[in-house]
Amino acid sequence: MAPTDPQVHIPNPFGFDPVGALLAAIGHAVTAGVQSLGSWTFAHMTDALVATTQVRLDGWFDGPWRAMLAVAAVFAVPILLCGVVSEVLAGRPGGALRRGVVLPLLIGPLL
């Protein structure tokens, strides 16, 4: 068994723990800073969300919207028609009805 080291008692004439008080003050300052930053960020984020909820589809959005519609017309409609024709030629009119009418009506609102 190892002998214990002798401990030296250093008297504290101040009656309080200066290191503990300093660390507590630093902890309070860091906590207050983080809370202040969080509330500032949340306030500005809320202001930005409330100020920009209006959706404007005029002006700059007209060109991209027309391009998206053109791509849909050029690619999606012929693919849909090919699928319907292949179902009809295979002798499955129910599948053609499902592929040509039911699925577009179900998927269309999601798009």
**The predicted structure's pLDDT at residue 103:** 84
> pLDDT tens digit string along 7-62?
777 777 767 777 888 999 999 999 999 999 999 999 988 888 777 666 666 777 77
pLDDT at residue 101, as a whole number: 85
Residues 6 or more apart whose Cβ sits within 8 Å of residue 88: 96
Return the amino acid letter for 88: V
Nearest CA among 24, 25, 44 for reference residue 36: 44
More confident residue, 25 or 80: 25
CA–CA distance, 111 with 106 (Å, rounded to integer): 10
Q: What is the pLDDT of residue 27?
A: 93
Q: pTM for the whole thing?
A: 0.38
